[in-house]
Chain A
Amino acid sequence: MRPYLAAAYNLACWITGNPTDAQDVVQEAMLRAFRFFDDFRGDNLRAWLLKIVRNTALSARAVNRAAGRVPLQPEWFESVASTDARWSLGSEPPGDPALISITEEEVAALRRAIANLGAEFREVLILREFEDFSYREIAAITGSPIGTVMSRLSRARDELTRVMRDERGEKP
């Protein structure tokens, strides 16, 4: 169960923009998954579950919007690592530390850049880069055609590449 929940929680964080809502979203999504389990067809439980998480998170965000709360706060994304160990980022140890080194400034810049992406670009990037879903699975989760998934992913990566280039330009 843990790998599913971890993926669910990560996506919920990036959509809702704060840990409290993300937790509620995961709980609620699990409940829905349970209730509608009979509707589940096919063999990709992980993608099916993430689709429910995504839809639950989007409704939560809509509620936040209607209530006049600003849902996604880049400051939160940038500060989580330092403010509270519980919310520290990263769920697995780096595979091979020698493979790539990244500075704290670069991490902060990446995080900010992802937070600033449009929601439709961000979710595709998260599902691909952090959860390793295939294009087909991402299309199913987000309810968009594969072509759209591809172009959104490209644009999200272009944007992150630009930000990283700027970052390195400032600190050669």
Chain B
Amino acid sequence: MTHDEVSRLLDAYVDQELDPVLTAGIDRHLGECGICAEFVASRRGLRARLRASQIRFRMPPELTRWVGPEQRARYAAPGWMRAAAVAAVFLMAGFFLGQYTSRTDDLNAQFVNAHARSLLADGAVEVTSSDHHTVKPWFAQKLLFSPPVPELDDRGDRLLGGRADLIAKVRMAAMVYRHGNHLVNVFVWPEASVVGKPPGGDLNGFHVLGARIGGFNVALVSDMNPDELAVFRDRWVAQAKP
């Protein structure tokens, strides 16, 4: 490679964006060319200084407490719309309270919140695999119980992976599936736990369905329509059976 060719690529070289062939070519050139070697050293020095300078802005703690749909509604729009949104949330809460006991409402909401968090989290899955032979042992190790992990790949659904989640102070296995454009969180925990099967319901466009299978309680949460989710649940339950 000529000096001109190399010098155009040095930033990409420092950023490790080049393929092995180009990288090797530049490595050779750097051994012979003082100017380019010095340039690379200077770039690396700059990067080290940027890292050392810690110029990254640190997030204020209140921002990390961003969680559920209630908060999102507050930030949805300015002024009167925000007030209206808050009022709507209260109205909805009242509606739900009329329908269920506050305890079951809480439980649905907690599952919806956990689902919502997972959508934006880098922690949607802690173990990424569509193979139940990988996911199941991971749960067993992490949670001290080993839930069924059906792959559901017979009709185009895909298991994306799993994570451990904490809902109502109970550690649960959460499996994430992709169904078309929708993500589904399937929470599984031992039946003997203090948290029972959720009653199911709708909250802010999300749907919760409960199920029970062989010593485990199950909750499914997704934004797909309730009928579709019910079909998904039945398939999940059918394939989860040993």
Contacts and interface: CB of A to CB of B under 8 A. Distances in A.
B66 A111 contact: no
Nearest to A38: B181
Interface residues of B, number: 40
A148 interface: no
Given A26-B63, A30-B120, 17 more contacts: A1-B117, A13-B57, A27-B63, A27-B75, A30-B66, A31-B72, A33-B120, A34-B72, A45-B122, A46-B122, A90-B53, A91-B56, A92-B54, A106-B49, A110-B49, A129-B50, A164-B46
Interface of B: 11-12, 15, 17, 42-43, 45-60, 63-64, 66, 72, 75-76, 116-117, 119-124, 181-183, 223
B72 A23 contact: no
Contacts of A114: 55
Contacts of B56: 6, 10, 89-92, 130
Contacts of B60: 19, 23, 86-87
A25 to B, nearest CB: 11
Give the dominant DSSP class at B's interface.
Answer: helix
Given A89-B56, A130-B55, A34 B46 contact: no
A5 B122 CA distance: 10
A146 to B, nearest CB: 9
A135 B15 contact: yes
Contacts of A37: 119, 183, 223
A143 interface: no
Contact of A135 (B12, B46, B57, B181): B12
